Structure 1
Amino acid sequence: TIYRLAGAKQIPAFKVGGSWRFSKADIDRWIREQSTASADGRKGHP
């Protein structure tokens, strides 16, 4: 799940209190980077 990825520091996120928060700009950038990595044949999360 997205929370497991956040907890494993595989996706950009931070905690406020006990809740995970995600910056839209950081997630958009992460998705682009993962798409590029997958297109290049490298392993990446979707």
Structure 2
Amino acid sequence: MKALLSSSDISIKEIAEQLHFEDTSYMCRYFKRHTGIPLSEYRK
């Protein structure tokens, strides 16, 4: 997930679909729980 976020310009929704998450909000919560930072902040 980190590699896709940092090395590509595809949307968060497309990343969620590629990684088989049911929705983007679940992926965002999953990412924050495991990294401690929000997905949008990591992408910046």
User: Per the shorter chain, which TM-score range?
Assistant: 0.3 to 0.5
- Relative contact order (alpha carbons < 8 A, sep ≥ 6): 1 or 2 greater? 2
TM-score, with length taken from structure 1:
0.37
Bigger radius of gyration = 1
TM-score, with length taken from structure 2:
0.39
